[in-house]
C-alpha cells in the first residue's frame, strides 16, 4: 500500500473531559467526504500524550470504524518505550489500521543506533507498514538521513513524516534512498513536493481539507500555478495555526467553526487573547465563517 496525497492529522475532540466519540466519528466522515487521502488519529495533533491507553485504543477503533475502509487509517502508536510502542502497534493492527505512524523516542535522547534498533524491534514484532515520524522539536533528537536510509531497507518501513522544517534534511534523505517522504509542516508542503515528497500529513486539513487536498492534487497533475496559488492562500492560515503549541490553535479554530468543543487537556490550555485574534483574522481572511 502506498501512502501518498493529502492526509489529516486528526484532532481528538473532548466533551466534559472525555473523548467525544460521536463528534470524532463525524469528523472522520467529514474528512472522507472532503476528499482527503488518509487519516492519522492519536498523533501529536490528536493529543496522544494525555490520552490514557484505553482512550488511545478507543480513538483508533472509532476512526477505523467510521472510515469504513474508504481511506487508509494510519494510527499513531509511538512511545519513548519500545515495549509500549510495540503494544500500541499490535493493537492498531488488530483494530484494522492500515499502518502505524511512530514518532522518534522522546526524552530518552537515544543515539542513532538506538533509534535504529527501536524501529527495527517494532518492525520485527508487528507486521504492519510503518511511517517514521521525525520531529526533533518535540523529541529532541533528529533521525539522521543516513539512519532513515538504513531503516528504509526494512521492508515494512515505507515512509517518513518529515517535521524538521529543514529542506536540506529532506533533500539528503531523497538522495540516499527511495523512501516515501511526507511533509509534516503545512507551510512547507509545496516546497517538499517540489523536492520529491509524495504528500502531507496536515494539521490545516482539520479545518480546510478541500484546500489541502486540492493543493496536493494540483501539483501531481502538473498544475503548478494552481498549487502555488493555494499555497499562498493557505500560508497565513497555516502560520496562525502554529501561533501557539499545536493543537491549541487548530482546536480553537474547530470550535469557532462549529466542528467540535475545542477543549484541550492540561498541560495545554486555552489560547492567549492576542493570539486568538491572529487566528480569527486568518480564518476570516481565508473566507471561513466564524460561528461562535
Beta strand spans in the chain (E): 5-9, 14-15, 18-19, 38-40, 74-76, 99-103, 130-134, 157-162, 180-183, 199-202
Q: Which of 56, 50, 55 is nearest to 85 (CA)?
A: 56
Active-site residue, 161 included: yes
Which of 133, 153, 198, 291 is catalytic? The answer is 133
Which of 116, 119, 161, 251 is catalytic? The answer is 161
Q: How many CA atoms lie within 13 A of 172 on its CB side?
A: 14
CB 132 within 8 A of CB 143: yes
Number of residues assigned to the chain: 292
| Angle made by CA atoms 164, 221, 167, in degrees to the nearest 5 | 15
Q: Render 101-161 in DSSP notation, one character per residue.
A: EEEPPPSS---HHHHHHHHHHHHHH--S-EEEEE-HHHHSS---HHHHHHHTTSTTEEEEE
Q: Which of 28, 7, 2, 47 is nearest to 264 (CA)?
A: 47
CB 161 within 8 A of CB 101: yes
Active-site residue, 106 included: no
CB 204 within 8 A of CB 241: yes
Give the residue numbers annotated as catalytic, written as ranges: 133, 161
Amino acid at each position: 500500500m502506498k501512502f501518498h496525497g493529502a492526509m489529516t492529522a486528526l484532532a481528538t475532540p473532548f466533551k466534559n473531559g472525555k473523548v467525544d466519540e460521536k463528534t470524532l466519528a463525524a469528523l472522520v466522515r467529514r474528512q472522507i467526504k472532503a476528499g482527503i487521502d488518509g487519516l492519522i488519529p492519536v498523533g501529536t495533533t490528536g493529543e496522544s500524550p494525555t490520552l490514557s491507553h484505553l482512550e488511545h485504543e478507543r480513538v483508533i477503533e472509532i476512526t477505523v470504524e467510521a472510515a469504513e475502509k474508504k481511506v487508509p487509517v494510519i494510527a499513531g502508536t509511538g512511545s519513548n518505550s519500545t515495549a509500549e510502542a510495540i503494544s500500541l502497534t499490535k493493537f492498531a493492527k488488530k483494530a484494522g489500521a492500515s499502518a502505524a505512524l511512530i514518532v522518534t523516542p522522546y526524552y530518552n535522547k537515544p543515539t542513532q543506533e538506538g533509534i535504529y534498533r527501536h524501529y527495527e524491534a517494532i518492525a520485527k514484532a508487528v507486521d504492519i507498514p510503518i511511517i517514521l515520524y521525525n520531529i526533533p522539536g518535540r523529541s529532541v533528537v533528529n533521525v539522521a538521513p543516513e539512519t532513515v536510509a538504513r531503516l528504509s531497507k526494512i521492508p515494512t518501513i515505507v515512509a517518513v513524516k518529515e517535521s524538521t522544517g529543514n529542506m536540506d534534511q529532506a533533500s539528503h534523505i531523497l538522495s540516499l534512498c527511495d523512501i516515501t517522504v511526507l511533509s509534516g509542516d503545512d507551510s512547507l508542503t509545496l516546497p517538499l513536493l517540489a523536492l520529491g515528497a509524495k504528500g502531507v500529513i496536515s494539521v490545516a486539513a482539520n479545518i480546510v481539507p478541500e484546500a489541502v487536498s486540492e493543493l496536493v492534487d494540483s501539483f501531481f497533475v502538473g498544475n503548478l500555478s494552481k498549487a502555488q496559488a493555494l499555497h499562498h492562500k493557505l500560508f497565513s492560515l497555516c502560520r496562525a495555526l502554529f501561533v501557539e503549541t499545536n493543537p491549541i490553535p487548530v482546536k480553537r479554530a474547530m470550535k469557532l467553526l462549529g466542528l467540535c468543543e475545542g477543549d484541550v487537556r492540561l498541560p495545554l490550555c486555552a489560547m492567549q487573547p492576542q493570539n486568538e485574534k491572529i487566528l480569527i483574522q486568518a480564518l476570516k481572511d481565508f473566507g471561513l465563517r466564524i460561528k461562535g
